Structure 1
Amino acid sequence: MSEIKLAATTRTEFGKGAARRLRRADQIPAVLYGHGSDPLHVALPGHATMLAVKQANALFAIELDGKTTLAITKDVQRDVVKNTIEHVDLLIVKKGEKVSVEIPVTVVGESAPGTIHLVETQTLALEAEATHLPQQVEVSIEGAAAGTAITAGEIELPQGSTLITEPETVIVTITVPQASADDVAAEEAAADIAAAQSAASAAAAEDA
């Protein structure tokens, strides 16, 4: 995973007023913590940070006072109305260590004709190397028939990852669209009625 470089500056003012001033200047308040160090309160470039956090489990190289610190996103606080970023929590990581993360599930392939797939669980909890975090987990449904349920334990994980989610957790199910199921039931009922009518007609002809 390539590192996303962000130039940070130290924050010396705190509170809602200071945070608003930072955001007006296209900066985002953030805190760096982890590895027993005191939390570092910093300001990050607004537009670059907004683009960076769109990438799942991105690895950041935070440049501050001539030093570079590797970190991953632990929490992003957003304005619920404007959907703008208000604050970012970053966890300091080291090469070689493992961390627990949520990885988005991506479905690949096509299930059997006439079926659809439903994603029951959107993410998988994995333990992976902090500086090589996967950005997604692919779940193949190629040719899967109706009634198939793919669990977490059946999914091939990215190299170096360990599953934390319970293996029995259902991730994707394959089913027949409800309209199709209703059509099939209606056709079967019509066939039963037709068969009954045919049998009744045959019996009436014999009696005659």
Structure 2
Amino acid sequence: MSEVRISAEPRTDFGKGGARRTRRAGKVPAVVYGHGEKPSHISLPALDLAAAIRKGGANQLISVEVSDGSRVLVIPKDIQRDPIRDDIVHADLIIVKSGETITTDIPISFVGEAEKGGLVVHELNTLSVEAEATHIPESIEVSIEGLAIGSQRYVREIEVPEGIVVLTDGDQVLAAVSEPRGEVEDEEGESEGEAAE
């Protein structure tokens, strides 16, 4: 995944009041930590951060360039959003280094169509993996093409890019194909009616 550059400023105004003032200025208060470094408090342009998360999701590599001259490579660890407006209100960013292996969750992208008439139920939306910090894919593709009614696709059956180690239990179901409920109920209704006759 390619990195996104975002300019940041050191933050010295703390507490709820300081955070509110930062947000009113169109910025997001954030904390950068990891690798034994002392946590640093910064503010990031809200629009730039939101665009980066939209582009690469929760594992987007961000090169944070602080106005004091420091530069650090991070990925989002925790993004807090306003429950009503869905704006980002705070970000925890963890420092990563090239070549370093980290554990993270990667979204699953289901492709293809199951057997006609089948109802696909997605049991998992993400996979827990171990991957090199600067080579985390945006998503892992799982094909359900032609999956028959009554069958399932398991974690152990998927192929992942080289260098990715799946930590999610291989026996877990990713997706299952079942008969639509309405049809089952109709059949039961008919059999009950026939029995009554």
Mapped partners of 1:184, 1:165: distance in 2: 38
Mapped partners of 2:188, 2:160: distance in 1: 39
Q: In structure 2, do the counterparts of structure 1 residues 27 and 193 end up closer, same or farther at CA, with 3 Å as the change threshold?
A: closer
Shift of 1:171: 1.2
Q: Given residue 25 of structure 2, which amino acid in structure 1 is its aligned partner? A: A
Shift of 1:186: 5.2
Mapped partners of 2:151, 2:77: distance in 1: 34
Corresponding residue number in structure 2 for 1:137: 140
Mapped partners of 2:178, 2:140: distance in 1: 22
Structure 2 residue 37 is the aligned partner of structure 1 residue 63: no
The two structures have a TM-score, normalised by structure 1, of 0.87
Shift of 1:180: 2.1
Corresponding residue SS for 2:121: strand
User: Per-residue displacement from partner, 1:21-74 (whole Å, max 9, x unpaired)?
Assistant: 010000000011111110011000111111112232110010112232111000
Corresponding residue SS for 2:171: coil
Corresponding residue number in structure 1 for 2:23: 23
Shift of 1:156: 1.2
Mapped partners of 2:189, 2:84: distance in 1: 46
Mapped partners of 1:111, 1:20: distance in 2: 49
Unaligned runs of at least 5 residues, structure 2: none
User: Per-residue displacement from partner, 1:63-100 (whole Å, max 9, x unpaired)?
Assistant: 11223211100000112222221110001000011111
Mapped partners of 1:177, 1:17: distance in 2: 53
Corresponding residue SS for 1:73: strand
Would you identify which runs of 4 or more consecutive aligned residues in structure 1 move more than 6 Å? none
**How do residues 1-208 of structure 1 correspond to structure 2 at under 5 angstroms?**
1-54=1-54, 55-56=56-57, 57-64=59-66, 65-185=68-188, 189=191
Q: Given residue 139 of structure 2, which amino acid in structure 1 is its aligned partner? A: Q
Shift of 1:179: 1.3
Shift of 1:121: 1.2
Percent of aligned pairs sharing the same letter: 44
Mapped partners of 1:193, 1:172: distance in 2: 35
Unaligned runs of at least 5 residues, structure 1: 198-208
User: Per-residue displacement from partner, 1:143-180 (whole Å, max 9, x unpaired)?
Assistant: 11011121212111122110111111111111111112
What CA RMSD, in Å, does the superposition of the two structures yield over aligned residues? Answer: 1.9
Mapped partners of 1:21, 1:167: distance in 2: 47
Aligned residues: 193
